[in-house]
Structure 1
Amino acid sequence: MTGEPTFFEIGVPDAVRAQKFYLRLLGWTPHPMGEDGQAWLETGGIRGGLHNHDEDRRIDIFFSVADIEAAVSAVRELGGEAEDPGPEEPGFGRFAFCKDDQGVRFGLHQLAR
């Protein structure tokens, strides 16, 4: 369904440390991918991503769209900002980081086909 949360991403300075924290606090299971402690997080609900070396220390939420190219265009037409969508990530789909017309950061996510 369009508009529902489908993915979140946590950016931290130390991904291995964050894996331990969220596993102990919330019971999330980390699944390693990439390098430096990066992982996708199994939460029992939507998937999460965890990446390293992020001094912003943030959690981003991504919302489902059927056509990411069209959604990025709509964000821009409505006065927001949107990065060009990234390539298909196997098993995950395509993502684009955006900001609304007041500068609030969020993401768009087109599910894997």
Structure 2
Amino acid sequence: MSGEPTHFEFGVASAASARQFYAKLFGWTVHPMGDGDEGWIETGGIRGGLHENDPNPGIVVYFSVPDIEAALATVKELGGEPGQASPDEPEFGRFAECKDDQGTRFGLHQPPAA
């Protein structure tokens, strides 16, 4: 379904600190991705992502769209700032961070083809 939240992303200064904080607060498990402390977050509900060295720390919610390129064009038409769509990631799909017409960050996520 289009517009349904699919995941969230934590952009933080230190992924190691965030891993400890949220594991203790909510009992979440962070599964490593690549080198370092970044990874995907297992919450018991929707998944999350954790990345560090974010110049604009915060939490961004990503919403499902069937066609990310068309959705990015609509963001622009509506006066928002479309982000750059990622390459297709196996078992995850494509995503882009955007801003609405008031500068609020949000994300678009095109799940992988079934």
Aligned to 2:93: 93
Question: Shift in Å at residue 60 of structure 1?
Answer: 0.7
Tell me if 1:22 matches 2:22.
yes
CA distance in 2, matches of 1:50, 1:44: 16
CA distance in 2, matches of 1:82, 1:55: 18
CA distance in 1, matches of 2:85, 2:57: 22
Aligned to 1:103: 103
SS in 1 for 2:90: coil
The TM-score, its normalising length taken from structure 1, stands at 0.94
Name the amino acid aligned to 2:91: G
Structure 2: runs of 5 or more not aligned: none
Question: Shift in Å at residue 71 of structure 1?
Answer: 0.4
The TM-score, its normalising length taken from structure 2, stands at 0.93
Aligned to 1:61: 61
CA distance in 1, matches of 2:80, 2:97: 11
Contact 1:72–1:82 (8 Å) recurs in 2? yes
Question: Shift in Å at residue 35 of structure 1?
Answer: 2.1
Name the amino acid aligned to 1:108: L
Aligned to 2:8: 8
Structure 1: runs of 5 or more not aligned: none
Question: Shift in Å at residue 33 of structure 1?
Answer: 0.3
Q: RMSD between aligned alpha carbons?
A: 1.0
SS in 2 for 1:85: coil
